[in-house]
Amino acid sequence: MAMKVPGGLLPAVLLVLAGCSDYVDVPVSYQKQPIKVAKCKPIVNYQGTSFKTSGVEIPIPQLGGNTKVGEVSLTPETLNTLYKEVAILDALRLQYCDARLAAAQVSLAAFQAANNRMLDQEEKIANLALSTTQGEAQAQKALDTITNAPAPKPDPTTQKVDNTAVAAAKQQAQQVTSPGAPNAGAPAPSPTPSAVAPPLPPPVAAVVKTVSTSKLLKAARSKPPRKAPTPAMHH
């Protein structure tokens, strides 16, 4: 389970976190040794008419998927909205993951701000995915925490990285969906972990391109749940 880096520590090696694999050395000005930052790794696998994350495969009715998660039936509207919100959070997560590299060179606090934001998006993605295994009401409740909650006030410690992540997501979405982009608009396999965040998958870019900057910021700043729901067991 991913844990947020505790404040007040300046270890020679920062071992970071869920959603990442392998490490890259980042030179820093505040100590002699570089720190090791985990490389970015996708956590959502887009498969054309469905996507899979946190061990749950979720259909996308608007792309030809059905309306069942395992044996649980949900409305097409709920599943389509959930897909859109997961795509937004996934795009933001990748940008925060990327932002950690530059932030680590500035200060430990800057690194933690980007890293904790990345983990927030992961928690929200897991909560949305797992909520679908518990039925329509639980899925709607999970969506409400992001789509209908009041817009959180900007946090001075994360405002800069929030703005950077949102701007980068919009820019990448435009690039990926442009007519000359390779495989524009087509599903893509999950990329291998790299030192920086991989490009937005085309399905994600297609969603982010249509979303306003204010909605992206609201999604980025929405509070993660205290605990993601446990998958429902069906006998």
Residues 6+ apart with CB under 8 A from 30: 10, 107, 108
pLDDT for 78: 97
Instruction: Examine the pLDDT at 194 and tell me if it is beyond 70.
Output: no
If you count them, how many residues does the chain have?
235
Residues 6+ apart with CB under 8 A from 79: 58, 59, 60, 61, 65, 67, 132
| pLDDT tens, position by position, 110-139 | 988 999 999 999 999 999 999 999 999 999
Mean pLDDT across 175-182 = 77
**Helix or strand (DSSP H, E) at 195:** none
Q: Measured between alpha carbons, how far is 182 from 202 in angstroms, rounded to an integer?
A: 9
202 pLDDT band (50/70/90 cuts)? very high
Instruction: Examine the pLDDT at 210 and tell me if it is beyond 60.
Output: yes
pLDDT for 183: 52
pLDDT for 181: 61
Q: Measured between alpha carbons, how far is 170 from 5 in angstroms, rounded to an integer?
A: 28
Q: What share of the chain is helix, strand, coil (3-state, %, to 5)?
A: 45, 10, 40
| pLDDT tens, position by position, 12-42 | 334 443 344 488 888 888 888 887 888 888 8
For the record, the structure tokens of 188 come out as: 């893509």
First to last CA, the chain: 27
pLDDT for 180: 67
